Structure formats: C-alpha cells, structure tokens
Amino acid sequence: MSFRITLFITICITWMHCKNDTSSTQMADTVHSADVAEATFKKNCSSCHGDDGNVFVDRKWKHGNAKDSIIQSISNGYLALGMPAWGSVLKADEINNLSDYLLGAIENRKKFDFTDSVKSNIFQHASMTVKLDTIAKGLSNPWGMAFLPNGDFLYNDRNGNMYRQSKGVQNLIKGVPQTRVEGQGGLLDVELHPNFATNSLIYFTYAKSKDSLSTTALMCAKLVGNTLTNQKDIYVAEPWKTTRIHYGSRIAFDKDGYLFLSSSDRFQHMDTLPQKLDNDLGKVHRMNDDGSAPKDNPFVNTPGARATIWSYGHRNIQGLFYDAATGILWANEHGPRGGDELNIIQKGKNYGWPVISYGINYDGKIMTPYTSKEGMEQPLIKWVPSIAPSGMTIVTGDKYPAWKGDILLGSLRFKYLDRVHLTGDVPGDQEPLLKNVGRLRFVKMGPDGYIYVGVEDPGFIFRLVPSEPLAQ
C-alpha cells in the first residue's frame, strides 16, 4: 500500500472519529440541557405547577405555546394572573432551556392527537388488522356487558336501560330499578354469577337516589327471560353524597366465586374519605355472592372498619379485571390531570389517594406535594397525559396471536383502545388501537374468543374480527 493511500485512510478515520466525538458531545450536551431544564422546572415551578412538565403542558395556553411566547411568559410573567416574572432570577440560557423542555413536553402530548379519520370498519395496526362488526347500535352510553350461556348478549346503557339481545333482536329488560341518570351516574356495570347456568343470577351497579343524595349500589337479581325478579341491593355505599360523579364502578368475580367491586371517591377527596376505613368510598371491596364479608378480609376484625374493604386509597377505578390464569386482580383508575394509573390490587394495600398522586388539579393547582410515601403503593403505569382509562381485559385464545396475554383497555379521552404488552405481571410497551373509534367505555373477551368493545355518544357495541390488511 502506497504512503499516499495510507495517509488518506488515516485522515478519513481520524475525521470519522472526530465527527463521532462531536456528535456524541452534542448529544450529551442536549441530554444535559434537558436534565438541567427539568431540574430548573422542579426547583422554581413545581410549587404552583407540579414537578412534571409533561403534566403541566396538558392545558389550554392563554398566551400561546410557541417558543417566543413561552420565553416571554417566563421572563415577564403575568402578575395579575399570579405568574411572577423570572427574567431577573433566571439567566437567559436557563429560560431558553426551560422553554425547550416545555416544548418537548408539548410534542410528547401531541402523540395522542390522532389525525387518523375513520374511513371504514377495518383498522390496520403494526401488530395486526381487525374489522369491526356491529353488534348493537342506537345506544347512548353502553357501560357494561355480559355473555349469556345460550349466546345472547346482556348489556347496560347508562341511560337506565338494560337489554338482552338474542339473534340480533334487542329486548328491553323489565324490572330494572329506578336509576339516577345525572352527571356520571346511571346504570353501570353488569356481570353474571359464576353459576348463572343453574341459578340465573346477575349483578349490576347503578346510581341509587334518595332526595338530593345518591350513591353507588350493587343489585343482585334473577333473570327470567327478559324480566328481572327477586331484586335485592346487596351493597349500598356509605356515605351518600350530593355530587353526581365518581361512582365507579366495576364488578369482577375470582376463581373462588368471591365478588370484587370498585367504589370511587365521589369527588370527595378533600376530607380524605379514601384513606379512612369507616366508609365505602375510594375502595375495592371483596364480598360473598350475597354481599356479606368473607372472614379472611383484611379489615374484618378492625374496629369501625367496613368489613368488605379489600384495598383503599383509590380515586375513581373504571377498569377492574381478574385474571384467572394468574390470580391477579388488575385495575385502572382516573387520577387528577396527569395521575391516571394501572395497578395490581392486593389484599389490605393502600394506593395512596389523595395523599400521593402524580397528577394536579384540573385548574392547574397542586393537590398534593407527594408522589410517594412509605406504606403506599406505586402505580405500574402512570399515564401522562391522562388518557381516562376505562374497562379492561386480557387477551386470551388464538384469534389474536400478536395480542395474546396483553392488557386491552379503553381510553375515554383520546378515543382509542390501548394495548399494554405484558411480560408476566410487568407492563411494557403500549400500542394505540382503533384510533378515533369513539369514547371507548368497555372491552370484553367473549366466550367465542372474540373481543367486544363499547363506545359512547353515539353508542355502539362492536366485535373485533381479525382481518387481512387493506390493499395499498
């Protein structure tokens, strides 16, 4: 090899090393600037806006969210609105880095602004393609669904109507109790007794009314044809409240026939009811099929405690699923803004609300300065921004091989079905499915091996059928 060729190769290698070193340095500088900016936000902004910029930016911007506008807001403030000027406190490069940090958080938020328009009933995803078959339409807010042994569907509309659908014919169920259909109240979840084939018993939750007050109630009834008989409230949450939101509620039976029920905080977090054991609010309850408390419940011998409490410190559980294969009880719940969670519900555990939370109030104010505390559980997933998770299931069978063993849950806010990959009991990557399908209230695995979802306003129930991808 000639001296000139050797020299040329040496120069090229040296240049490549220098270029790589420069790129690595620039990348390290970028990461360092982001870390410094995040630290600046936590030090100077967290007392008013929380310590997570990703939560803070999930808002309507009064003065614009372009970089120049953000820099001006930070530098000059808006004193009349309570925003001080930081131009004399922070250096120009600190304000610049802080604005870049917020812009990055804004871009992260935009990934949920799905631009996909629903053009057909076929949805293509990276994992697999599915076709939506319409099972029911003309509903308002389909909230819960169960599958009868003979192939009929049983489902609740939050407007107070329960239906039995047989061979495509929708039949209104008689004997449903008077329900307070107001705010988030109405006719909610429904499940069959594990021995329905022999006893015909169903369980459903609804908003029960008394004068100006209401509460979450669980009724057991016998389904005879299209009529409910032997109706009995086996659980009525105490105390009753004047609020019309945060009723919960989801029902799940385990393999031993115990019934789990979520009861939400009724938006009464200021008096810390979810942390107290002398009431039913903000809890997961475990009971026998007649509503009585099993003798091995964690607080059954605690003076003053409600005997059916299984776990506490919850805000608004909207998804509850018992995995018979693993014995795990999964739950998702609505936090405040930026505080939605996925949890495994365990006996006697405290899930923290309202003492700890990763979210802030809807008006942007701090609800609690704590995100962790000894003796309180941490979520497996915290959604930022809040997706408003709803009904959930785990995919079983062989019809959806790419999704088998994964969690599916609805997003009310962003109108999609969220797939959470599971490795054992550890959640991993997420994939948005059925983008812009509608406010997705429930998702269920049917005994036929198909996935069923319910969407709201207008209300439909769809069956997901694996399909071939559309031709390009």
Question: Across all residues in the chain, what is the average pLDDT?
Answer: 91
CA-CA distance, 343 to 330, in Å (whole number)? Answer: 6
Q: What pLDDT is stored for residue 251 in this prediction?
A: 98
Give yes or no for residue 404 having a pLDDT over 80.
yes
Cβ neighbours of residue 124 closer than 8 Å, sequence gap 6 or more? 469, 470
Q: How far is CA 51 from the centre of its chain?
A: 21
d(CA 165, CA 151): 9
Q: What percent of the chain has pLDDT over 70?
A: 93
pLDDT band at 400; cut points 50, 70, 90: very high
pLDDT digits (tens, 9 = 90+) for 29-79: 556 678 888 888 888 887 788 778 888 888 888 889 999 999 999 999 887
Listed residue (134, 136, 135, 132) closest to 119, CA to CA: 132
pLDDT tens profile 255-273: 999 999 999 999 987 778 9
Residue 409, pLDDT score? 98
Nearest to 468 by CA among 135, 133, 124, 120: 124
Which residues are annotated as catalytic? 246
Place of tokens 């005879």: 224
27 pLDDT tier (thresholds 50, 70, 90): very low
Mean pLDDT is lowest, of 228-237, 352-361, 463-472, for: 463-472
Give the CA angle between residues 51, 371, 317 to the nearest 5°.
Answer: 115
Rounded to an integer, the average pLDDT of 167-194 is 96
Tell me what the mean pLDDT of segment 374-397 comes to: 96
- Distance CA(266)–CA(239), nearest Å, equals 10
Report the pLDDT value the prediction gives residue 147, as an integer from 0 to 100: 98
28 or 472, greater pLDDT: 472
Cα angle for residues 205, 240, 386 (degrees, 5° grid): 65
Contacts of 347 (CB under 8 A, 6+ apart): 298, 310, 311
Alpha helices in 45-61 (DSSP H): 46-49, 53-56
Res. 148 pLDDT band, cuts 50 70 90? very high
Q: Which pLDDT belongs to residue 7?
A: 46
Instruction: Please state the pTM of the whole predicted model.
Output: 0.88
Average confidence (pLDDT) over 218-226: 98
**Chain center to CA of 375:** 23
With H, G, I as helix, E, B as strand and everything else as coil, classify residue 273: helix
Residue 403 pLDDT exceeds 70? yes
Write out 12-47 in H/E/C secondary structure. HHHHHHHHHHHHHHHHHHHHHHHHHHHHHHHHHCHH
Look at 54 and 154; give whichever has higher pLDDT.
154
Label residue 195 by pLDDT band (50, 70, 90): very high
What pLDDT, on the 0 to 100 scale, is given for residue 167? 93
Distance between CA 444 and CA 422 in Å, rounded? 17
> Any residues with CB less than 8 A from the CB of 251 and at least 6 apart, and which?
144, 189, 190, 191, 203, 204, 205, 218, 259, 260, 261, 320
Sheet-wide strand order for 340-344: 317-323, 328-333, 340-344, 381-383
